[in-house]
A and B are shown apart, each in its own frame.
Chain A
Amino acid sequence: MTRTIYTAKTIRTMWAANPTAEAVLVDDDLIVAVGSVASLQQWGDATVDDRFADKVIIPGFVEAHTHGMAGGIWSSPYVGFYPRSAPDGTRWEGCEDLDATLDRLREAEAQLDDPSQPLLAWGLDPIYLQGERLNRHHLDTVSEQRPIFVFHASGHLATVNTAMLEAHDIGADHPAEGIPKGPDGFPNGELQEPAAMALARSGFLGILRTLSEPQALWDFARIARNVGVTTATDLGTSPSKDWDRWATETTDDEYPLRVMMAAQGNFGASDELATQVLERMEQQSDRLRFGVVKLMLDGSIQGYTARLRSPGYLPQAGVENGLWLLPPDSVADQLAAFHDAGLTVHCHTNGDEALDIFLDAVETVLRKTPRWDHRHTSQHCQLAHRDQLRRMASLGVAANMFTNHLWYWGDQHRTMTVGEDRAAAMNACRSALDEGVLLSFHSDAPITPMGPLHTMWCAVNRLTPSGVVLGPNERITPAEALEAATLGAARQLKLDNEIGSIEPGKKVDFAILDDDPLAVAPEAIRDIGVWGTVLSGRIHKGS
C-alpha cells in the first residue's frame, strides 16, 4: 500500500519540536512524518492528496467526559433552550419560551401517525424559562388524546399531559412521592425523580428504549465526528448492559469514533469489576478501549446537589448542602479496588467538598499502594480552590473541567447558586495550569452539546450569555486550550502514546477544520467550521 501525503493550509501538530507543518505523511493508520511536501520526500514514494489543502488539520479532539446516550436521545424531538445540532447535522433552534416549546411539540405531534404512540421530547430546562412553568394543561393543548412525555435536561424530571397521567392511573390519590399537585388537587403533570417518572411507563421506558438501540451508538459517533472528536469516553458503562453492544457496533470499520468504555464503579463488586476491566483491556480493539473506571461522589451545582465546602449555596437556594452518591467514608475503599488493580479512576466531583473527599481518598490509597502515573482524574472539578489544585498536582490527580458551564449556567451560578465571587473562580483553568495540574475540559454531552471548539472557547473567553466575563484572570490562551482539548484529554485516558498529537508513530487521527483556532480571534473559536475527521487513517466527512 502506498503512503499518502495530506497537505493542508496549516497543520497544528501539538508536537513541541515541530508545532506546525504543511503536510503529513501517513501509512495506513499510522503517522510517518510531518514537514513540507519536499521534506517528506526523504521517506520515498507517496501519493499526494490535496483534498484538505484549504483546510486546517489538528489532532482529532479527545473528549474525556460524554455519555453514549447523547446519540439515542435524538430519536425524540429537542425542546431545549439553546440551539443544538442533531447527528445528521440539522440545526435545531432553541425553544426560548413556553409557546416555542409547545409549537415544537405540535409540529412533532403532527408527524406521528399511530394515535396511541406517545409523543416523547427532551431537553427542557425550566431554569432558563421566564413565566409559568410547563404543566399538564399546556401539554393538553398539544394533544388531549395522545400521551406526551417531556423529559427535562436535568434527567431528574419529566412533565406529562393528562392523557399520559390517565393512561397510567396517576391520579389525585396516588401514594408515590414526586407527583406534585396543582391548585385543583390533581397531579400538575410534573414527575420528579426516576421512580415517579417510571410510573409514566410508556414515556419513560420509551425514552430508555431509544437509548439502547444500535442506531443510538451510531448517532453518538456521528455527533462526535461532526465536531471533530475522534476519541470520546462513555463515562459510566455497565459490563453486562453496555460493553457487548458497543463491541458489536465498533467492529464496523465505518464506525467513525474511538470510544473509551469507562466502567461505572459506584455499584456492585469492585474487585470483580476491576478484573472485568483488566480482561477487556487484553482484548480491546482500536476503536473500543478500556482501562478507566468512573466513580461519582456528588450531584450537580445548578441542581443544588453538589457537595460544597462552607459557605455552601446562596441562602435563596434554601438547602443545607448537596447529596452524596457514595458514602464519603467508603471512597478510599472503593478507589483502592481499582487503584490496586492498576486502573485509572475518573471521579465525578462537582463541588469542592466532594473534591476534598476524593483527594483524601487518593492520598490514602497512595500511602498504602504507592503508584506512579496513576492519572486519577477529578471530573467536573468546577469549584476547585488553589489549595486543592496544588494538592492535585502533588498527588498526580488530573482535572477535567466543565468549562461549558461558564456559558450555559454562568449567569445562574452568579445569581442563583454560589454568587458572583465564586462563580468567577469556577473551572479555574489558569490556576490549574499554573499549579501544574494536567488539564482538559468536556461537554458532558448530552448535558451540554458536544463540541470541543465550544469548550475551548469557554476556557479562553469565560463569557456568559449576559455578556459578563466570569473571572478574567482564569482565562487561558487558545494554544493552552487546544492542548487541553487534544493531548490533555489523551493523557487523562493514558492514550497519549497513541493519540492527542500529530507525531510520528501515532494514529492518523485528525480533526479537519475550516480555520486555525490559534489564528482566528479568540472570540471566534467556537464559530470555526468542522469538515469532519480522520480516524486511524479513515476519512469521515461530517454532516
Chain B
Amino acid sequence: MSGRGIPVTVVGGYLGAGKTTIISELLAHSFAEEHQLRIAVLVNDFGDVNIDASRIARQTDDIIELANGCVCCSLIDGFVETLDAIAAWPEPPDHLVIEPSGVADPMSVAQYAYLPGFQLAGVAVAVDADALPTQLTDKRIGPSIRRQVERGDLVLLTKTDLASEATLATTRSTLATLTDGPIVEVTEGQLDPAVLLGLTTTLTEFDATEPDDGTAHHPLASTLATLKSIPVDGKEGLQTWLESAPPSVVRAKGSVFDRAEGSFDIDLVGNRVRVTHRPSSREAVSAFIVLAAPGDVAVTEWLADRSLRSDEASQSSTGS
C-alpha cells in the first residue's frame, strides 16, 4: 500500500488544542515501534515550543523543526526545501506528520503534500472541546477556527475530560453545523494511530453485532473491518460509495482488485475520499480496512449494502 510517495497527515487546530500531545502519543505508541514505521514530523510551532520540541525529540530521530517556515511575506520558503530534503533521504520516512501553527489553515498547509514524492493522507483538526464555544464567539479568532474545521477532513475532539456535559453538548452540536466529517474524541492524545496513519496489521473483523453500550462516541477503540472484496463498478462507483460512508467511518484504506479493470487504491480520511485507478497493476490482491465507531449500525448497513451485490467482485478476486 505504498501508493505514490510519502503519505502526509496534517494535524492542525488552534493554539493549545492538543496537536503536539496527539503527535507525541502517536510517536510514542508501540504501534510505530512494533512495526518499525519511520515517521517524520514537521513542527511549525509557537509559544511553549521548547517543551513541545524536546518532548518529541526524545521519541524519534526524524524530527525536523522548521527554523524558517512558510510565510506569505517570506519567499524563501522553508517548506518546499524541507520537503525536498525529506523526499531525498536515503531512507525516506513511511509517513510525514505536519503540525502547522494554531492560526494556519491546515488544509492550505496540506497542499504541499501534492509536491512530487508525497501524497496527502488527510487533514485532522484538533478542537478543544471545553474552549470551542467561547473561541467561536471571539471575533478575532472565531472565523479562523471555523474555517479550520470546515475545511478539515476529520475533527479530533480533545479535552473532553475538562468540558462540562453542557459545554460538550454545545461543542458537539456546533461542530455538526460546521462539518459532516467524523468527530473523534481524543483524551490526552490517545488515538488509534491507524486513524492518522491509515495503516495497521492487526485487522480485526468488523463486528456488526457489538451492542451499542454508550461508548460509541468514545475513541474508536480499534474496530476495523476487513473486506476481502467489494464490487467494483468503476472509479466513480467506488468514489460515490465511499462518499456515502456514515460519519463514524473515520478511516478506510486499502486496495481492491478487479480482473477486468485492474486495481483501485482507496483512501478515506473523514470527508476526504481518494480513489486511484491503477489499471496495469498486477497486484491481484484486495485488502481493505475500515475504522469506525464500534457498534454503529449505519456502518454495518453501509458495508452490508455493498456486500449484497458483491458476487461478481468476490469471484473476480477469488479467482486470483
**Residues in A lying within 8 Å of B, measured CB to CB:** 69, 155-156, 174-178, 193-196, 198-199, 201, 204-205, 207-208, 211-212, 236, 238-241, 264, 266-272, 296, 299-300, 303, 305, 307, 320-321, 323-330, 333-334, 348, 353, 357
Contact of B47 among A198, A211, A330 (CB under 8 A): A330
In the complex, the answer to whether B111 meets A193 with C-beta atoms within 8 Å is: yes
In the complex, the answer to whether B67 meets A267 with C-beta atoms within 8 Å is: yes
Are A241 and B72 also in contact (CB < 8 A) when A327-B141, A330-B46, A333-B48 are? Answer: no
In the complex, the answer to whether A299 meets B72 with C-beta atoms within 8 Å is: yes
A contact residues around B114 at 8 Å (CB): 174-176, 195, 199
Can you report 26 residue pairs joining A to B where beta carbons are below 8 Å apart? A69-B76, A176-B114, A177-B107, A195-B108, A195-B109, A195-B112, A198-B79, A211-B76, A238-B76, A240-B68, A264-B74, A266-B46, A296-B73, A305-B72, A307-B140, A321-B143, A323-B144, A325-B72, A326-B101, A327-B14, A327-B102, A330-B46, A330-B47, A330-B102, A333-B46, A334-B46
**Residues in B lying within 8 Å of A, measured CB to CB:** 14-15, 44-50, 53, 65-81, 101-103, 107-109, 111-112, 114-116, 120, 139-141, 143-144, 274
In the complex, the answer to whether A241 meets B144 with C-beta atoms within 8 Å is: no
Instruction: Name A194's closest neighbour in chain B (CB-CB).
Output: B77
Instruction: Name A69's closest neighbour in chain B (CB-CB).
Output: B75
In the complex, the answer to whether A194 meets B79 with C-beta atoms within 8 Å is: yes
Min C-beta distance of A340 to chain B, whole Å:
13
In the complex, the answer to whether A198 meets B112 with C-beta atoms within 8 Å is: yes
In the complex, the answer to whether A267 meets B66 with C-beta atoms within 8 Å is: yes
Separation of A303 and B139 alpha carbons in the complex (Å): 20
B contact residues around A201 at 8 Å (CB): 116
In the complex, the answer to whether B111 meets A195 with C-beta atoms within 8 Å is: yes
In the complex, the answer to whether A208 meets B108 with C-beta atoms within 8 Å is: no
A contact residues around B107 at 8 Å (CB): 177
Extra contacts, 19 of them, besides A195-B108, A267-B44 (Cβ < 8 A), are: A69-B76, A176-B114, A177-B107, A195-B109, A195-B111, A208-B76, A211-B75, A238-B68, A238-B78, A266-B69, A267-B69, A296-B73, A300-B72, A324-B140, A327-B46, A327-B103, A329-B15, A329-B141, A330-B102
B contact residues around A236 at 8 Å (CB): 71, 73-74
Are A328 and B141 also in contact (CB < 8 A) when A241-B67, A267-B68 are? Answer: yes
In the complex, the answer to whether A241 meets B141 with C-beta atoms within 8 Å is: no
Min C-beta distance of B125 to chain A, whole Å:
15
Separation of A193 and B45 alpha carbons in the complex (Å): 21
Min C-beta distance of A300 to chain B, whole Å:
8
Separation of A196 and B109 alpha carbons in the complex (Å): 11
Separation of A333 and B51 alpha carbons in the complex (Å): 14
In the complex, the answer to whether B47 meets A334 with C-beta atoms within 8 Å is: yes
Shortest beta-carbon contacts, A-B, top 3: A195-B111, A238-B68, A327-B15
Interface centre among A266, A268, A296 (most CB of B within 10 A): A268
Separation of A328 and B49 alpha carbons in the complex (Å): 16
Min C-beta distance of B136 to chain A, whole Å:
13
Min C-beta distance of B235 to chain A, whole Å:
11
B contact residues around A176 at 8 Å (CB): 111, 114
In the complex, the answer to whether A330 meets B15 with C-beta atoms within 8 Å is: yes
The secondary structure that dominates the B interface is: loop
Count CB-based A-B contacts (< 8 Å).
Answer: 142
In the complex, the answer to whether A240 meets B80 with C-beta atoms within 8 Å is: no
Min C-beta distance of A167 to chain B, whole Å:
12
Are A324 and B141 also in contact (CB < 8 A) when A204-B80, A330-B47 are? Answer: yes
B contact residues around A324 at 8 Å (CB): 103, 140-141, 144
Contact of A156 among B15, B44, B72, B139 (CB under 8 A): B72
Min C-beta distance of A237 to chain B, whole Å:
8
Contact of A270 among B49, B78, B79 (CB under 8 A): B49
Separation of A193 and B140 alpha carbons in the complex (Å): 23
In the complex, the answer to whether B67 meets A326 with C-beta atoms within 8 Å is: no
Min C-beta distance of B56 to chain A, whole Å:
12
In the complex, the answer to whether B111 meets A177 with C-beta atoms within 8 Å is: yes
In the complex, the answer to whether B68 meets A325 with C-beta atoms within 8 Å is: no
Interface centre among B14, B76, B103, B141 (most CB of A within 10 A): B76
Min C-beta distance of B42 to chain A, whole Å:
11
Interface centre among A212, A269, A272, A321 (most CB of B within 10 A): A269
B contact residues around A348 at 8 Å (CB): 73
Min C-beta distance of B64 to chain A, whole Å:
11
Contact of A155 among B72, B112, B144 (CB under 8 A): B72
Separation of A129 and B45 alpha carbons in the complex (Å): 39
B contact residues around A272 at 8 Å (CB): 50
Min C-beta distance of B83 to chain A, whole Å:
9
B contact residues around A240 at 8 Å (CB): 67-68
Are A269 and B108 also in contact (CB < 8 A) when A211-B76, A327-B102 are? Answer: no
In the complex, the answer to whether B143 meets A320 with C-beta atoms within 8 Å is: yes
B contact residues around A155 at 8 Å (CB): 72-73, 75
Instruction: Name B54's closest neighbour in chain A (CB-CB).
Output: A269
A contact residues around B78 at 8 Å (CB): 238, 241, 267
Contact of A266 among B48, B71, B77, B274 (CB under 8 A): B71
In the complex, the answer to whether A268 meets B67 with C-beta atoms within 8 Å is: yes
Instruction: Name A267's closest neighbour in chain B (CB-CB).
Output: B69
A contact residues around B108 at 8 Å (CB): 177, 193, 195
A contact residues around B116 at 8 Å (CB): 201
In the complex, the answer to whether B68 meets A264 with C-beta atoms within 8 Å is: yes
Min C-beta distance of A409 to chain B, whole Å:
16
B contact residues around A333 at 8 Å (CB): 46-48
